[in-house]
Amino acid sequence: MEEVKTFESICNLLRNRSYKLTPQRQTILQTFLENVDSHLSAEEVYMLVKHQNPEIGLATVYRTLDILAEIGILLKNDFGDGRSRYEFSRQDEHHHHHHLICLGCGNVSEFDDDLLESLEAVIVKRNKFKIMDHDLKFYGYCHRCGEAH
C-alpha cells in the first residue's frame, strides 16, 4: 500500500478548501490513520471515535466522511451490504485496487493483482472504447467462513 497522507497534510487540504478543522474532524481523521487498511462504515467510525470524543454525533461522522470523500481523501465504496464503507484513496494508482467480500462475516480485504490489463486492451481495440477505470469485487467466503459452507 502506498504511504498514506500525513495528518498534517490532510488538515492543510481541509483548510485550503475552507473547511473548519474541528476537534471532531481531527478525531475522525486520526481514526482512519490508525486503521489505514480498514474499510470502515460510518457506524464503525462512530463506535471508534465516541470513546475519545463522547459528544460526537453520528450525523457529524456522516458529514465528515462525505466531506473527506468529496475532496478525495477517502473513497466511498458500496460492497452490497447496505452501508457505505470508506478507505483512504490511492491517488497514484491508475486503477483502483480490487476487493474480496466475504458473504459470511462481511470482511473486506484487498488484492492488487491487476490481471485485467490484457482484457482492457482487447476491449479498447475491439470496441474503440477508452477505459478510464474499472472496479472489481469478488463475493465469496473467507478461509474462516468457507469451512462452514
pLDDT at 114: 63
What residue numbers does the annotated binding site cover?
Answer: 96, 102, 105, 117, 134, 142, 145
Look at the chain and report how many structural domains it folds into: 2
pLDDT at 2: 39
My answer on whether 142 and 79 are in the same domain is no
Is the predicted pLDDT of residue 1 greater than 50, yes or no?
no
Cβ atoms of 77 and 84 closer than 8 Å: yes
**Is this model's pTM higher than 0.75 or not?**
no
pLDDT band at 125 (very low <50, low <70, confident <90, very high): very high
My answer on whether 15 and 72 are in the same domain is yes
**What is the per-residue pLDDT across 37-96, written as a single tens digit (0 to 9) for each?**
788 999 999 999 998 889 999 999 999 999 999 988 888 888 877 888 898 876 555 555
In the sheet where 74-78 sits, what is the strand order?
A: 40-41, 84-88, 74-78
My answer on whether 38 and 69 are in the same domain is yes
What residue numbers does the annotated binding site for Zn(2+) cover?
Answer: 102, 105, 142, 145
My answer on whether 134 and 74 are in the same domain is no
Is the predicted pLDDT of residue 103 greater than 60, yes or no?
yes
> Is 1 contained in some domain?
no
My answer on whether 42 and 109 are in the same domain is no
What residue numbers does the annotated binding site for Fe cation cover?
Answer: 96, 117, 134
**What is the per-residue pLDDT across 3-37, written as a single tens digit (0 to 9) for each?**
446 888 888 888 889 898 888 999 999 998 898 87
My answer on whether 103 and 42 are in the same domain is no
CATH number for the domain that contains residue 71? 1.10.10.10
pLDDT at 95: 54
Domain enclosing residue 140, as ranges: 98-146
Q: In degrees rounded to 5, what are phi and psi of residue 88?
A: -65, 140
Residue ending a domain, choose from 46, 68, 88? 88
